[in-house]
Amino acid sequence: MALHCSLGSGRHWASLAEELAGKYVFIAPDISGYGNDAGPSGLPTTLAEEVHLLNDRIYDAVGPIHLVGHSYGGAVAFKIATDSRLAHRICSLTLIEPVLPTILRESGPDRQLYDHFVRLAQAVYEDLWNGVPWNAIDKFATFWKGSEPNQEIPPKSRLRMIEHAERLAFDFAAVLAEQGVTAAAAAIKVPTLLLSGGLSPYLTQRIVWRLTNAITGVKTHHLPTAGHMLLLSHSAAVIPEIVRHIALADRLEQRSALKPGGSLPADHLTGA
């Protein structure tokens, strides 16, 4: 199962779906309010509520689940893996720059990064409240550009982002409401891969660093020339890493199941 970023859709995972075709059942839902999902009348304001809205799609997966998430989708994936009724079904976790800013509140040196993110959220809220979603999108895009060269968003893409701009307020609220991220990360027991880009906002790089120090046995892959949208811009490097990680997790699970007292489940068709 793969979860996309804010202002994105399940189509972002087309390359990964193609790579895993025939080996796994691949589920890449549109998160509520994005893509073809209009969302409920009241959009989620916490990650727990977001997970609840995805329950039906998660239950579509048969057997153990390989969970992948990028950006906001990474935060949702983290929540599924650490604090949901389905956490016991997760057999691997891949997070591409998950947006979990409250982990930075727990460290004095990183507190300024958290405060800056809160100010960004407030500025986006104000623009949306004042009926200027295009200004909100410009602020949002500028922040996530990080250190990448200036590049204008194609008009068609910008229009699509503006159409979904209101959803950003809920995404910000959800990630800023999350508590106890470090403790939750420390409790992760499944094989975990963290991916990051060297041109991404420093905030996301610090989040990945903090998670790296909290999750036992975590693997990391850093692309110095990539930005926050590395899933799309550097897919040739990112997708093989994810595929290798999933394959390794499968081998580890099979070895564990074949130990004395263990047996492979009959429904060992894995959801990815």
> What's the CA gap between 103 and 101, in Å, rounded?
5
> What's the CA gap between 267 and 36, in Å, rounded?
30
Residue type, 39: G
Residue with the two structure tokens 């990474």: 74
Sign of CA dihedral 238, 240, 241, 243: positive
Rounded to 5 degrees, what angle do the CA atoms 122, 127, 128 make?
95
Q: Looking at residue 38, what is its pLDDT?
A: 63
Domains of the chain: which residue ranges? 2-257
> What's the CA gap between 116 and 90, in Å, rounded?
33
Burial class from Cβ neighbours inside 10 Å (0-12, 13-18, 19+) for residue 236 reads: exposed
List phi, psi (to 5°) of 155. Answer: -50, -40
CB within 8 A of 44, min separation 6: which ones?
32, 50, 52, 53, 170, 174
Predicted model pTM: 0.92
Q: Looking at residue 35, what is its pLDDT?
A: 80
Q: Looking at residue 58, what is its pLDDT?
A: 80
Residue type, 94: T
DSSP code of residue 271: B
pLDDT in tens, the chain (272 residues): 999 999 999 999 999 999 999 999 999 999 988 887 666 667 899 999 999 988 888 877 778 899 999 999 999 999 999 987 888 899 999 999 999 999 999 878 899 999 999 999 999 999 999 999 999 999 999 999 998 887 788 888 899 999 999 999 999 999 999 999 999 999 999 999 999 999 999 999 999 999 999 999 999 999 999 999 999 999 999 999 999 999 999 998 877 666 665 544 433 334 44
> What's the CA gap between 99 and 3, in Å, rounded?
13
Is residue 65 within 8 A of residue 91, CB to CB? The reply is: yes
> What's the CA gap between 191 and 218, in Å, rounded?
7
CATH architecture, domain defined by 2-257: 3-Layer(aba) Sandwich (3.40)
Burial class from Cβ neighbours inside 10 Å (0-12, 13-18, 19+) for residue 248 reads: middle
Kindly tell me the number of DSSP H helices and DSSP E strands found in the chain.
11, 5
